[in-house]
Amino acid sequence: MAEVQVPVKSESSVFSFGKTERRLITDPISDNNPITVQVLGVCSALAVTTLVSKALVMGIAVMLVTAFSNYFTSLLREYIPKSVRMIVQLVIIAFLVTVVELILKAVNYPIWKELSVFIGLIITNCILMGRLEAYAMANKPWKSFLDGIGNGLGYGVILVIIAVIRELAGKGSLMDYKIIGPTSEYALNTMEISWLSWYAPNNLAILSPAAMFIIAIIIWVQRSRNPKLVDIS
């Protein structure tokens, strides 16, 4: 009788990137966005979106912490007692936030100085604990890592959109580079006349309530395009 050979699962298949894995990254950017759909992490979206540079750094920091905290939590999920799982999760998050903060401090001290308080508050970001509880504790490390990347990207995309609107409207600049208003870098000769020189930056756009209105408009547009996201309850 011929011996039946059982196919051995290769190591490469553990890190596969198929349709399911792609959705883990793309869904949180649109249909399952942590800010506009899950309504998580809104506080930091109000605080760090006055400049695009700050929003970019914050988005990258959250994405890294979310991805690796998901990964390590998933690796340890079978060994973590349920009674202390949240304490263990917080320790993992706190460790990663500390690493990210120290790296940022070494690489870009001015940005770290502006974001130091908010980088530390990543520990209390609802997105992280939500993904650890809802996904990492029930799925394998690779998919948990991709889920963290996706939710971090979804968070960062909304932050950058808000920051672009607020910085343009409130300061007339992008990435701290003046592009509209009477002092635009595109001014002609010595007359300081640009194609948008008529616009006077509105400082109200820099205030937190402006960010709240922008988030509300984004939510409205998103739900108008996709009625499935409307809460019928």
Residue 113 has phi, psi (to 5 degrees) of -65, -35
Q: How confident is residue 121, by pLDDT bands cut at 50, 70 and 90?
A: confident
More confident residue, 223 or 197: 223
Closest among 64, 51, 88 to 176, alpha carbons compared: 51
For 171, the domain range is 36-224
Q: Could you tell me if residue 201 is inside a domain?
A: yes
Residue 224 has phi, psi (to 5 degrees) of -70, -35
Q: Could you tell me if residue 16 is inside a domain?
A: no
Q: What Cα–Cα distance (Å) separates residue 227 from each residue in 39, 216, 218?
A: 17, 16, 14
Query: How far apart (Å, rounded) are the C-alpha atoms in residues 155 and 147?
Result: 12
Q: Could you tell me if residue 233 is inside a domain?
A: no
Whole-model pTM: value is 0.84
**Residue 187: pLDDT above 60?**
no
Q: Could you tell me if residue 232 is inside a domain?
A: no
Give me the pLDDT at residue 182, please. 60
Residue 193 has phi, psi (to 5 degrees) of -115, 120
Give me the pLDDT at residue 196, please. 63
Q: Could you tell me if residue 167 is inside a domain?
A: yes
Q: Could you tell me if residue 208 is inside a domain?
A: yes
Give me the pLDDT at residue 96, please. 96
Instruction: Decide: residue 177, CB within 10 A, 0-12 exposed, 13-18 middle, 19+ buried.
Output: exposed
Q: Could you tell me if residue 28 is inside a domain?
A: no
Strands (E), the chain: 173-174, 177-178
Q: Could you tell me if residue 26 is inside a domain?
A: no
Query: Position 70: which residue type?
Result: N
Could you give the 3-state DSSP secondary structure of residue 193?
strand
Counting the structural domains of the chain, the total is 1
Q: CB neighbours (10 Å) of residue 209? A: 10
Closest among 151, 147, 156 to 59, alpha carbons compared: 156
Burial call 162-173: b when 16+ CB within 10 Å, e when fewer: bbbbbbbbbbbb
